[in-house]
């Protein structure tokens, strides 16, 4: 029996019977077997996986198969057949045909590339330490590719014999009496203090955006006790060539619906549903609306219950299951060929710790009735497009408030009014919550769900309730609007909402139109 597969099952806290393990081993693809088990854990909340489980859940497993294409799909199908599932000839023939990926082959153009599910367990200090080590080693590997970091050494090898480069995590940051910035840097071999002199203008400006616990590269000189920084490098993210689809498909982005709140702008949301169904405007406008094939809802779809003190007085629906039932009713009005991708936010009825699980396991199970709804974790990486594949990183954005408060230019520059400026820093640091205290999080085994490992074509966020579009190094940044009028709680946290705006992105031309469903004429912006 494959020892690595057994170890994987143990780490996930699942029991898999011998027959199933043997079939997975015979498949010859260990990574695919692990991903299949992870999706079963995520989708079925299943802890004991027997051969009987597959026959008892065959229809749902057929749906799971549709998330794959090509060789992966064929391998999983063979695994299912060897476990007693039968497939009709139409499904078998669809694997044999050599053709471009279409609706049947690729789950309507949606692939779930990265969803993060952890097995509940007692967390220990070592779990957080391992999380930081994993993060450090990954970001170090990125920075090591920078040719400008010459004479790269570890901290314990600093000798004071000229210039060197270090890759380290920022343990502490202070401003000295003289106005210089003093960092305490740490790698796996030790710590060293690093001075950024205020007279080195360019480097000093870079240092202002450094926050605790991020991984940076520095060019410096000094000894084992203190070094003087000559330059600073961040891991950063960049796309050299933008993608353009050959098919004219549109993507809509929204978040923060807040169903159940007495500030929920239901009338305006129904206008949006009417529009996306092609019932509004002249023939050209209706035709354009019907080209929307994907809708991202990036968290806080309901207002929740007990999220903050005194919330009950601001709720129309005071039961979270009633909120999800009404959300299901609203989303069920959207035409079925629109693929809806949905993740949680802080107001949803899942744990607050990131990565947040999919909605519907403890509360909101009624959402499972929607066949065109893809429920994913927060964050997650999704691939869309029936032709050219676009990677979309969706993250609700709980860390953004902390990032704004940590960087002077954002705090003093009203960062809450410009969400994409915050996202630029997250991309530069290649992490969605670099500082340990920015969000409550759960460390995973051999993974950091908040690392930006794969550079996305698009990153979409919510939480700040403001629509904004920007480009950063070839990456399209889309901050979503909301469907809730300003609340006292938002005033307290600094949100300045601009509701009822929906960015629509054309995968073929990369043009973006922002539609305003509050009654004001929409605006248009080109994302090229």
The CATH label, of 3.60.10.10, 2.40.50.140, 3.30.460.10, 2.40.40.20, for the domain at 144-233 is: 2.40.50.140
Instruction: Record the tokens describing residue 15, joined without a space.
Output: 């029991």
Task: Tell whether the model's pLDDT for residue 521 goes beyond 60.
Answer: no
Q: Write down the pLDDT at residue 458.
A: 97
Distance (Å, rounded) from C-alpha 225 to C-alpha 247? 59
Q: Domain-by-domain residue ranges, the chain?
A: 3-98, 144-233, 250-526
Task: Tell whether the model's pLDDT for residue 119 goes beyond 70.
Answer: no
Segment 198-233, tens digit of pLDDT: 999 999 999 999 999 999 999 999 888 899 999 999
Task: Tell whether the model's pLDDT for residue 121 goes beyond 90.
Answer: no
Q: Answer for the pair 148, 167: CB distance below 8 angstroms, yes or no.
A: no
28 pLDDT tier (thresholds 50, 70, 90): confident
Q: Write down the pLDDT at residue 140.
A: 94
Q: Write down the pLDDT at residue 21.
A: 86
E strand or H helix at 480, and its extent?
Answer: none
Q: Write down the pLDDT at residue 166.
A: 95
Q: Write down the pLDDT at residue 189.
A: 93
Range 9-20 average pLDDT: 83
Task: Tell whether the model's pLDDT for residue 62 goes beyond 90.
Answer: no
- Bridging pattern class, strands 215-222 and 226-233: antiparallel
Task: Tell whether the model's pLDDT for residue 525 goes beyond 50.
Answer: no
Q: Burial level of 211, CB count in 10 A (0-12/13-18/19+)?
A: middle
**Could you tell me what percentage of the chain is helix, strand and coil, using 3-state DSSP and rounding each to the nearest 5?**
35, 25, 45
Range 351-367 average pLDDT: 90
Q: Answer for the pair 500, 516: CB distance below 8 angstroms, yes or no.
A: yes
The CATH label, of 3.60.21.50, 2.130.10.30, 1.10.10.10, 2.20.25.90, for the domain at 250-526 is: 3.60.21.50
Lowest mean pLDDT of 124-133, 408-417, 504-513, name the range: 408-417
Q: Write down the pLDDT at residue 99.
A: 29
Helix axes 18-27, 70-82, angle to 10 degrees: 150
Q: Write down the pLDDT at residue 105.
A: 37
Distance (Å, rounded) from C-alpha 307 to C-alpha 329? 23
Task: Tell whether the model's pLDDT for residue 88 goes beyond 80.
Answer: no
Task: Tell whether the model's pLDDT for residue 495 goes beyond 50.
Answer: yes
CA distances from 499 to 129, 165, 268, 320, 510 (A): 41, 47, 9, 23, 23
Range 8-36 average pLDDT: 83
Between 120 and 47, the more confident residue is: 47
Tokens 């550079």 sit at which residue? Answer: 455
Range 66-71 average pLDDT: 62
Q: Write down the pLDDT at residue 384.
A: 94
Q: Write down the pLDDT at residue 446.
A: 78
Range 30-41 average pLDDT: 81
What is the average pLDDT score of the chain? 87
Q: Write down the pLDDT at residue 64.
A: 66
Between 114 and 373, the more confident residue is: 373
Distance (Å, rounded) from C-alpha 107 to C-alpha 193? 53
Segment 185-202, tens digit of pLDDT: 999 999 999 999 999 999
Q: Answer for the pair 462, 227: CB distance below 8 angstroms, yes or no.
A: no
Task: Tell whether the model's pLDDT for residue 87 goes beyond 80.
Answer: no
Range 310-318 average pLDDT: 91
415 pLDDT tier (thresholds 50, 70, 90): confident
- Bridging pattern class, strands 110-114 and 48-49: unpaired
Distance (Å, rounded) from C-alpha 358 to C-alpha 335? 23
Q: Write down the pLDDT at residue 31.
A: 80
Q: What is the CB neighbour count within 10 angstroms for residue 32?
A: 17
Range 300-324 average pLDDT: 92
The DSSP symbol for 363 reads S
Tell me the longest C-alpha to C-alpha distance in the chain: 77
């Amino acid at each position: 029996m494959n020892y690595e597969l057994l170890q994987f099952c143990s780490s996930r806290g699942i029991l898999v019977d011998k027959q199933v393990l043997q079939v997975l081993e015979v498949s010859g693809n260990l990574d695919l077997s692990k991903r299949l088990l992870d999706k079963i854990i995520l989708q079925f909340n299943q802890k004991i996986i027997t051969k009987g489980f597959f026959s008892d859940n065959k229809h749902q497993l057929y749906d799971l198969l549709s998330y794959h294409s090509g060789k992966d799909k064929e391998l999983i199908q063979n695994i299912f057949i060897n476990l007693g599932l039968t497939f009709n000839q139409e499904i078998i023939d669809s694997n044999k045909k050599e053709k471009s990926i279409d609706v049947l082959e690729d789950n309507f153009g949606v692939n779930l590339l990265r969803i993060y599910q952890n097995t509940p367990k007692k967390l220990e200090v070592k779990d957080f330490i391992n999380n930081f080590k994993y993060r450090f080693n990954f970001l170090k590997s990125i920075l090591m590719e920078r040719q400008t970091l010459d004479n790269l050494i570890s901290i314990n090898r600093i000798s004071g014999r000229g210039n060197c480069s270090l890759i380290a995590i920022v343990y502490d940051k202070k401003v000295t009496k003289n106005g210089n910035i003093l960092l305490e840097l740490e790698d796996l071999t030790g710590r060293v203090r690093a001075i950024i002199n205020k007279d080195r203008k360019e480097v000093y400006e870079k240092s202002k955006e450094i926050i605790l616990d991020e991984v940076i590269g520095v060019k410096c000189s000094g000894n084992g006790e203190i070094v003087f920084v000559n330059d600073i490098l961040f891991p950063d993210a960049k796309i050299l060539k933008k993608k353009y689809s050959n098919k004219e498909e549109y993507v809509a982005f929204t978040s923060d619906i807040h169903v159940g709140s007495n500030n929920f702008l239901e009338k305006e949301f129904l206008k949006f549903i009417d529009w996306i169904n092609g019932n509004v405007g002249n023939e050209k406008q209706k035709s354009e609306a019907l080209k929307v094939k994907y809708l991202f809802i990036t968290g806080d779809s309901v207002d929740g219950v007990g999220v903050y003190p005194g919330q009950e007085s601001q709720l129309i629906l005071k039961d979270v299951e009633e909120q999800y039932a009404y959300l299901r009713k609203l989303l069920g009005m959207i035409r079925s060929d629109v693929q809806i991708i949905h993740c949680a936010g802080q107001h949803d009825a899942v744990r607050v710790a990131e990565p947040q699980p999919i909605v519907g396991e403890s509360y909101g199970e009624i959402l499972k009735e929607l066949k065109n709804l893809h429920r994913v974790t927060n964050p997650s990486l999704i691939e869309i497009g029936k032709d050219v594949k676009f990677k979309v990183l969706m993250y609700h954005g709980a860390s953004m408030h902390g990032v704004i408060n940590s960087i002077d230019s954002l705090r003093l520059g009203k960062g809450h009014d410009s969400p994409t400026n915050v996202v630029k820093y997250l991309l530069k640091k290649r992490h969605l919550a670099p500082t340990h205290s920015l969000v409550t999080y759960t460390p995973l085994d051999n993974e950091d769900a908040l690392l930006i490992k794969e550079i996305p074509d698009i990153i979409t966020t919510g939480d700040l309730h403001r629509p904004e579009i920007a480009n950063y190094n070839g990456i399209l940044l889309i901050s979503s609007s909301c469907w809730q009028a300003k609340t006292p709680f938002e005033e307290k946290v600094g949100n300045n909402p601009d509701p009822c705006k929906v960015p629509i992105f054309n995968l073929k031309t990369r043009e973006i139109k922002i539609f305003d469903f509050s009654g004001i004429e929409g605006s248009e912006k080109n994302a090229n």
